[in-house]
Amino acid sequence: MTTDIQISARALNVQECIDSVLSPGAGGIDVFIGTVRNKTKDKLVIHLEFEAYESMAIKEMQHIAEQARIKWDLHHIVIHHRIGILAVGDIPVIIAVSAAHRADAFDACRYIIDTLKETVPIWKKEVFEDGDVWVNAHP
C-alpha cells in the first residue's frame, strides 16, 4: 500500500498517476482529473494561478489519504496538485485510487477530492479579461 502526494509547478502526468496505482490485487482504479475550464459564471477565463501553503497542504493531503484508508480497503493512493499559472485545458489536480473492489475506489476518490477542496490550503486566482478574483482552490 503506497501513497504518493505531490505539489508541483510542473505539468501533471495522468498516465504516471495511473501507473502508480496499478496493482495485481486491484479490481478497480478510479481517477479524478481536474481541468481548467474556459468560463466561470459566464466570464471567459484567461488563466488560473494556484498558490499553496505547501508544508501544511502536504500534511493535510496525507491526513486525507490516511482517513480514506481507514474508511475503505485501498491499495494505492495518488494525490497530485499543481501550482503556478495554468492555461485553459491544463490539469491542476489528479486523484487516483486502486482497491480490490470498484465501489471502494469510487467512494475513496470522491471523498479525497471533496475533502481536499474543503480543507487543503490551496488557493486559485481566476484571471478574466476584465480583472481577477482569488477563490479557494476547488469551489
Domain of 99, CATH number, reads 3.90.1170.40
137 inside domain? no
Q: What is the mean pLDDT of residues 37-41?
A: 92
67 inside domain? yes
How many structural domains does the chain have? 1
Q: Kindly report the length of the chain.
A: 139
Question: If pLDDT is split at 50, 70 and 90, which confidence band does 1 have?
Answer: confident
Q: What is the mean pLDDT of residues 4-9?
A: 98
136 inside domain? no
Task: Note the pLDDT of residue 135.
Answer: 84
Task: Note the pLDDT of residue 30.
Answer: 98
Whole domain around residue 45: which residue ranges? Answer: 2-129
Give the tens place of pLDDT for each residue, 75-118: 999 999 999 999 999 999 999 999 999 999 999 999 999 999 99
Task: Outline where DSSP puts E strands in 1-121.
Answer: 2-8, 28-34, 39-40, 43-52, 74-82, 84-87, 93-99
139 inside domain? no
134 inside domain? no
Give me the amino acid identity at 93: V
Collapse the DSSP code of 63 into the 3-class scheme (helix H, G, I; strand E, B; otherwise coil) and give the result: helix
Task: Note the pLDDT of residue 136.
Answer: 67
Q: Is 92 within 8 Å of 122 (Cβ atoms)?
A: no
